[in-house]
Copies of this chain bind each other. A is one copy, B any other.
Amino acid sequence: MERIDGKKISAQIKEEIAREIEQIKQQGGKTPHLVAVLVGDDPASETYVSHKEKACNKVGMESEVWRLNADISQEELLKKVDQLNQDPQVDGFIVQLPLPDHIDEQKIIEAIDPKKDVDGFHPINMGRMVIGLPAYLSATPAGILELLKRYEIETEGKNCVVLGRSNIVGKPIANLMLQKAYPGNTTVTVCHSRTQNLQAYTQQADILIVAMGKREFVTADMVKDNAVVIDVGIHRIPSDKTKSGWKLRGDVKFDEVSEKASFITPVPGGVGPMTIVSLLKNTIAASQNRIYGE
């Protein structure tokens, strides 16, 4: 069994990105510039945004956080989005979700210029991805592809089973694993809450991608020998053995499944650390017009 070390790969990629940005600057190019819009003071959102800011600084990107009051009207927020769309200094921006209840999230997402949509949530980026055109991929699916690449995991012709059909993980990763590309070219099955006899599917999977949001749901008996197991779940449980008072678990029972898997991502330290590098990579791509051209 090889443990897929997302922390190590993520650190490597950050170094690569830092070098690339250094080079862009040396050649007189524009420093990539990311803005994160944070509405209200949700503590989890605060943490995510501050991680993103830190990562930007570390690799030499410009970054800003726009902090807006929780009671901002939808119209005002749309104006801010438009301001960011228009600003030539800003290469890409994200609006941290969730938004307060009085704001229609989908409306905000669709107001973002697809060329600056480094979260990859705009339907046009989703559609382009499905069709096989260049597109900003959202962070988690892009992170999974990157891990498969870095560990040189074969995918062509493999049986890939995705558990979960969310718009931010299950659906995009399923569509990506189906593309005529590497990593991809797998036969893809998507299972979800209505799937009958789930085990019959998971037991046949060469590559099992788990994004159901059910703690330690996947057990060893559900997994084929030598399967590649990617765990997207993240759950916080109390622990008296850690300083923080809690520990993290995934959707997969790591201890027992890791004994059967050929490759497996742990939680924490698997897919999680990769999401931030996907965002950084999208921001460089935006600053270099790599997706939509000039």
Contacts and interface: CB of A to CB of B under 8 A. Distances in A.
Contacts of A185: 192, 194
A167 B106 contact: no
Contact of A123 (B124, B171, B178, B189): B124
A273 to B, nearest CB: 27
Given A157-B196, A187-B201, A127 B133 contact: no
A189 to B, nearest CB: 4
A11 interface: no
Contact of A190 (B123, B127, B157, B178): B178
A156 B185 CA distance: 27
A187 B128 CA distance: 24
Contacts of A165: 178
A175 interface: yes
Contacts of A171: 130-131, 175, 178
Contacts of A132: 167
A222 to B, nearest CB: 15
A185 to B, nearest CB: 5
Interface string A155-187: 011010000010100010001001000000111
A187 B187 contact: no
Contacts of A124: 123-124, 127
Contacts of A122: 127
Interface in A104-134: 106, 122-128, 130-133
Contacts of A178: 165, 171, 190, 192
- Among A127, A165, A175, A191, max chain B CB count under 10 A is at A127
A194 B180 CA distance: 9
Given A132-B167, A178-B165, A194 B157 contact: yes
A252 interface: no
A188 interface: yes
A272 B255 CA distance: 52
Given A124-B127, A130-B175, A171-B178, 15 more contacts: A123-B123, A123-B124, A123-B128, A123-B131, A123-B133, A125-B127, A126-B131, A132-B167, A156-B194, A185-B194, A186-B194, A187-B190, A187-B191, A187-B195, A188-B190
Contacts of A196: 157, 159, 187
A175 B131 CA distance: 12
13 contacts: A123-B131, A125-B127, A126-B130, A130-B175, A131-B171, A132-B167, A157-B195, A171-B178, A187-B189, A187-B191, A187-B192, A188-B190, A189-B189
A195 B188 CA distance: 9
